[in-house]
């Protein structure tokens, strides 16, 4: 599967911060039950790699990937943990080379036209606009569509249930990323029904 088809699996990719790998499987099952298959586990916690491995082993309907991949070592560790794709907040030449060699879909982060052009030169035409709202959001994506019509985006950062549909309406947006599907309170309470309900609402965005 390439990055294009990966982002076509679900209109929203939850950005998941896991502090306890023991809840990873139940969390993943709750999201998949709501129609959200692509799960980004951010490499911001010590539990992230173990969470990825558990989801990969026990939730076959999920596509689990690593977020906040910043170095070759990050990517290699994520792949060892079973990650099926990766996303980064930015892109360096070393990371680009590692991503190309990895054999898995990789979506690098960009925030400007110049960064998007450099990512394209490195072989990436599916990009993560980050941090989306802070750098211009919908207005920037509309502006980039003119000179860079072949690029497609997964904007992340400042996106939630109130504005996701507006982003998804743009022709150059394939999916959006956001943390609102896994609120801290629901995770703490292990309220999987709440997370499934949020996932169902997010899945419906693709049908509008």
Q: Give 195-207 as a DSSP string.
A: HHHHHHHHHHGGG
Nearest to 160 by CA among 105, 117, 207, 198: 198
CA 183 to chain CA mean position, Å:
16
Distance CA(114)–CA(77), nearest Å, equals 29
Examine the residue annotation and report whether 40 is marked as an active-site residue of this protein: yes
* 144-110-107-22 Cα dihedral, nearest 10 degrees: -130
Between helices 72-80 and 48-58, what is the axis angle to 10°?
40
The residue annotated as part of the active site, out of 40, 58, 150, 194, is 40
Q: In what order do the strands lie in the sheet with 126-129?
A: 109-110, 126-129, 152-153
Contact in structure between 41 and 207 (CB atoms under 8 Å): no
Distance CA(174)–CA(163), nearest Å, equals 15
Q: Low-confidence residues of the chain, pLDDT below 70? A: 207-208
pLDDT at residue number 207: 57
The residue annotated as part of the active site, out of 128, 133, 139, 150, is 128
The three-class DSSP label of residue 171 is: coil
Residue 194 φ/ψ region, left for φ over 0, alpha for ψ in the -120 to 50 degree band, beta for the rest: alpha
pLDDT at residue number 206: 78
- Name residue, tokens 């992340």: 156
This prediction has a pTM of 0.96
Distance CA(161)–CA(202), nearest Å, equals 8
State the distance between the two ends of the chain, measured CA to CA, in whole angstroms. 25
């Amino acid at each position: 599967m390439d990055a294009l088809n990966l982002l076509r699996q679900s209109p929203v990719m939850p950005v998941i911060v896991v502090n306890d790998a023991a809840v990873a499987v139940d969390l993943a099952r709750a999201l998949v039950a709501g129609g959200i298959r692509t799960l980004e586990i951010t490499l911001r916690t010590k539990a992230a790699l173990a969470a990825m491995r558990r989801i990969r082993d026990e939730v076959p309907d999920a596509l689990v990937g690593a977020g906040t991949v910043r170095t070759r070592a990050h990517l290699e560790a994520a792949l060892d943990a079973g990650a099926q794709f990766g996303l980064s907040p930015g892109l360096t030449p070393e990371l680009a080379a590692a991503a190309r060699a990895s054999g898995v879909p990789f979506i690098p982060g960009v925030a400007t036209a110049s960064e998007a052009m450099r990512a394209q030169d490195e072989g990436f035409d599916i990009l993560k606009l980050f941090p989306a709202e802070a750098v211009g959001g919908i207005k920037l994506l509309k502006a980039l569509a003119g000179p860079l019509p072949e690029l497609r985006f997964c904007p992340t950062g400042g996106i939630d249930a109130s504005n996701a549909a507006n982003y998804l309406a743009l022709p150059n947006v394939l999916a959006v990323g956001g943390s609102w599907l896994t609120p801290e309170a629901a995770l703490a309470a292990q309220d999987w029904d709440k997370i499934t309900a949020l996932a169902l609402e997010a899945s419906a965005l693709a049908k509008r």
